[in-house]
Each structure stands twice: as C-alpha cells, then as structure tokens.
Structure 1
C-alpha cells in the first residue's frame, strides 16, 4: 500500500449509517470515503468508477440481496469487503454466510442515538479497514467443492488438548481446521475475536459441518474429547482443572490487547493447566493478541503452530508470534489439521522445532 489514502466505498440503504460511516472513516488521516451507494446496483457502477481498496457492505440490502451481490463480486472481482451487520440472530447467520462467501470481516451496525463507546467503535472500524486494505481477498468457493478428507483417528490420550486462536479471516480458517478432524479428536478450546451475539451462530454452523461436537463454551463444563468449545463473544475463555478433569472457566474481566475474548488469556491458561499436553495453534488475524501466550505455551513444553503468511488472510497475529519465538512450526492452513493430530498422538515424543 502506497502513501495514498485507502479508498473506501460504503454501501448501505440507510442514509444515517452512510453519513456516520463517512464521518468515521474520513476522520482518519490514512483513509477516505470516495463514494457511497444505497444499494448494490448503484455500487456496481461506483466500483468500476472509483476502484476502491475496501468496500463496506450492509448485510440486508434492497434491489439485490447483499449475499447475491457479494457472491458475484467475489467471483468476478475479488476485493476486501467489510460487512456491516445488525446484532440479531438472523443478522449473525447472514454475516457468517457472508464470511464463507469471501467477506473479510464484519462490524456491528452502530446503534443510532446511543453513544456506546463511539471512540472504541471508530477505532474498530479504522483498524479493520486498514487490515482489509492489506489483506488477500478470497474468491467465493465453488458451490460444489468436494467435502474435506476426514483424518483417521489415532489413539490419543484424553489429557491432550487443542488450543486455537484467531481473528480476521479466522471464521473460515477455523472451519477448515475443524472439518477434517475425526470425532475422537482431543478436546478443543477456541478463541475467535467476535462480538457477543455471533458466537452461538458460529458454533452452531461449525457443529453442522464437523464430526466433532461444537458449542459455545459454558462456565464450569467439563472439556471432553471430540468436543470443541468456542469462547462467547463477550467473555474470556480459560482452561482450568477440577480434580482430574479439564473444565471451562469464563471471565468477564477487562479486555486484553483490546479484545474480550482474548487469545492470550486462553493460551496463558493452557500453559498453566495443560503444559505439554496442549497443542497451541495461532491462525490468521490482525494485531498481536496470542503472541505472548503462544510463547508461554511453548515454554511450558507444548508444541505450537503458526499459520504461514501465504495462507493467511491477514498475517498479523502469526507474524507477531513467530517474531517472539512462540511458534515451533510454521505451516499452511491445509496442513495444520493433520499436524495437530500427529502431535496429539505423539505422546511423550520430542516435539519438532
């Protein structure tokens, strides 16, 4: 990206939202709204005219369904798209479908008239637009992509755990990691940066696609093999012990690295309570959340993996973890599931560095 400003096109049927997004984006020194559109039909012409770097797109649009527009766009002219979603059950499901179709990330639609942390909201939008401008747009998947090859189930100790953290681009990366896993995989704890109201829909979607059982984590529940537990969107997820069992702890404490849930919080707890029995994995995402925690896991004897730059949507979090020395191995996303299972099966064997 050159020193010129990031060009943003805002597509939303609400004039109020268009005005608010324009004000927020234009308040940043490194970005500018070059045009706005009230529907996808108008947006098509403006994309050709202005060649924007980033598109913000309302989930629910008139004249053409927002998902239909997004799917066509990502097939014909892939570009970074940031969805603007309502905080509703239907809004979260449509947003997750948009991420599957190639949207990079999303922000919640602001509540007009409620000054709910507008400074934080402004910073969130600006940060996500910057990440989008430096990301790798993904083409929409083919409708008939073959199902993933399921991994065989080796004998694995019930003490083993898979600990995964991700941010921007992570919803699809986590899906690609979980889908090949056998039903007998180790217990899995996952922190994905996501606001409250979205994580239950995310867990339900992963549960439908995976052989492992996936759910939103609940306070005090036992961590079982063949199950994956997603951090709720407004709470930190921690690993703890109750006697001989691993259990889930949820924490309403302040954000860490500006995030709640935070990947570092999960990784630190895994280092403390699971040590070498955990396998730590850091996936695509912006920022540095998880880097220090992955290093702590490695220092506690856990094998650790960072997703490589070529397969990341945004290489920020893995890059920071690698620079800090937290990653034992660096590999492409499609190699990670098999490697996690091999490491989990290699009980007592020396980790590869």
Structure 2
C-alpha cells in the first residue's frame, strides 16, 4: 500500500511544524505540503491532491468551517479538524464533524506535550484515508420518529460509535421519540467536545440528551452521552433502579470511555431487555461487549458497511457473531425502536 499523503493547514508555523513532526514519524504517512490559510490551502489541494487534510478551526481570510464546507461541496476529501481546547473550539468542531469532517484532534493546552496531544493523529490520518465520504448534502437526514406511538416497556438502548459517529448519531438519536427508551452512548471523543456534542444532539432531538452524570437514573425520554476523559460509563442496577455509573479506569480495547465496558455492563444489568447498536468507527471496541449483550438475550444491531465512514467496529462485531442484523444508518433509529417494542412489558 502506498503511503498516505497529507496536507497540513494551520495559520501557526509552530503548530504546522509540530503536526508535521508527529506525522513524519509514521513510515506509512508522507506530508506533501503545508498551508497557512485557506487561500494557500486551496491552491495546494489543486496542485498536490492530498489523500487527507488536517485543518485548523481558526484561521485568517476564511474560517476552517467555511473552508470545510467548500471542500466537502466541491472536492470531497477526508479532513481531520485540529481544534483549540476551548468551548468555542468545541462547538465549531462539532459543527465540522456534522458537516462531514472525519475526525478531530485537540491542540495541546498549557503544559501539555505536543507528542501526547497529537499522539493518536497518525492512526486517525490513516483511518481517514480509508474512510467513505459523502458529498455535502448527501448524508442521510435526521429522521423524526414516525409510526405507532412508542410505549415504554422497561427496555434500554446502548450505542457505541467512533470515527464518523457524530454524523451517524445525528441521524439516529433524533429518530427517538420524547418518551423513547432510556439510551446510553459511548462515542470516542476528547472530553472537551462531549458536552458540546450532547447539546447539539439535544437541540436536534425530541428526547432529552445530556452528558452522563454519576448516579443519573435511566428513564424514558433520556439519552446519556459518556463524557470523554478518564472515566468509563456503565449501567448498574441497585434496588431495582437502573443508573449511570462513571468509574475511573485504564483504557479498555484502547479507549476510555470504552464501548466494550458500557455494553458489558448493560448485558449484566439489563440482560434480555436491552438493545445494543454499534455504529461507524475504527478498531474493535464494542465487539466483545455486544456479543455479551446478545448472549444475555438482548437484541443487537450493526450499521452496514455502505453507510459507515469507517467499517471497523461494526465489522469486528459482525464477524464475531455479535450482530443479529445490519442496517443503513438512516434506518437504525426506527430499527432500534422496533426491537424495543418487540420486548414484553416487565
């Protein structure tokens, strides 16, 4: 396989040098150009035709988000956003991911070592090069809940996603009704961004979406997103009541929070009343946990290859025998509700 070619776009020469240095350590990646603003980048894209672009959020002459829109409309190319670890940077990054950026990385904050901040960037770049892109406007629309009214019946939904998950979840979660099944989500994402993403999902959905807080009670109409960082989101049952639990822990399947940890906990606490769904993402996180859910009697669904940005996590789960059926992301919300509705009361 030929090396992945990358164009680095950032208005800071220092930041460009740091990003290039990290990427050049990987023998499978070739940095073929740099640009200090979108105008330079536009000419470089035409001249160099990179496989992947890293794009700063805040730049002169044109914002990163405006430039991303032009890229995705006129010359769709895998883009990884490089964002400041601020609230404003997080909000714009979520907008970029919703527009079709493949992934995001936070710039090193005060006291951070650049190699640590950008340590995962080479793998994200290589995954982006293999990703499946849709031109702007071709993404499946968020579908409102339709059909017979959902009747809460004690079912619980657990969802795992990673690369491409922002766009996927913005299709799935708005399909859940205001009284839909309590839902827990682990999406691989830096902690700075999960709060903004929860707010974005909440504004697009009839259900109430928040970052999970330790002790939150799982109730109809509530959706809980795992905070990024160093804690795993799990579900526990105490006194007959299901609650969110956030626990400190080492990465599992390469991640914290981990989809495997969430799914394993749901298999134990909820059993046959659970529905698990694994969406687009790089790697294998969630495959073993989803198998645990299926073995506990729960229903298990996977996003199909054609609509995944990266068919990694769903493929691993499918090949392991953890997935009952695969569906396009545009149908996943409806299929989750159908699986929940098929369960008896109790």
Confirm or deny a common fold (TM above 0.5).
yes
Q: Please point out which of 298, 301, 324 is paired with 2:297.
A: 301
Question: What is the deviation of 1:158?
Answer: 3.9
Is the 2:55–2:79 contact (alpha carbons within 8 Å) kept by the matching residues of 1? yes
1:267 has 2:259 as partner: no
Instruction: Work out whether 1:312 is the aligned partner of 2:308.
Output: yes
Deviates more, 1:147-156 or 1:256-265: 147-156
Three-state SS of the structure 2 residue aligned to 1:197 is helix
Decide whether aligned partners of structure 1 residues 283 and 147 sit closer, same or farther in structure 2, where only a CA change above 3 A counts.
closer
Q: Distance in 2 between matches of 1:146 and 1:126?
A: 31
> 1:149–1:219: structure 2 CA closer, same or farther, 3 Å change rule?
closer
The alignment partner of 1:24 has SS state of helix
Deviations 1:152-181 (CA, angstroms, capped at 9, x unpaired): 354534410110000000011011001122
> Which residue number in structure 2 is paired with residue 33 of structure 1?
31
Question: What's 2:205 paired with?
Answer: 210
Q: How does 1:1-353 map to 2 (within 5 A)?
A: 3-111=1-109, 114-115=112-113, 118=115, 121-141=117-137, 148-234=143-229, 235-348=231-344
Spell out, residue by residue over 1:9-34, the C-alpha distance to the aligned partner (whole angstroms, 9 max, x if none). Answer: 00000111100111111110100110
Measure, in 2, the Cα distance between the counterparts of 1:9 and 1:15.
14
Deviation per residue, 1:221-251 (Å, 9 max, x gap): 1111111000011121100012121101001
Q: Contact 1:157 / 1:347 at 8 angstroms: preserved in 2?
A: no
**Contact 1:153-1:185 at 8 Å conserved across structures:** no
d(CA) in 2 for partners of 1:122, 1:97: 21
Matches of 2:289 and 2:311 in 1, distance apart? 17
Separation in 1 of the partners of 2:180 and 2:148? 7
The answer on whether the counterparts of 1:154 and 1:345 sit within 8 Å (CA) in structure 2 is no
**In structure 1, C-alpha distance between the alignment counterparts of 2:282 and 2:190, rounded to whole Å:** 16
Aligned mates of 1:184, 1:153 — CA distance in 2:
13
| Structure 2 unpaired stretches of 5+ | none
1:269 counterpart SS class = helix
3-state SS of paired residue (2:218): coil
Number of aligned pairs?
344
Q: 1:201 to 1:113 in 2, by over 3 A?
A: closer
CA distance in 1, matches of 2:225, 2:142: 23
Distance in 2 (CA, whole Å) between partners of 1:191 and 1:102 is 20
> d(CA) in 2 for partners of 1:114 and 1:214?
31
Deviations, residues 273-325 of structure 1 (Å, cap 9, x unaligned): 00110100000000000000000000000110010000000000001001111
Alignment RMSD (CA, Å): 1.8
Higher mean alpha-carbon deviation, 297-306 vs 104-113, is at 104-113
* CA distance in 2 between partners of 1:147 and 1:347 (Å): 25
Residues of 2 paired with 1:300 and 1:321: CA distance?
A: 16
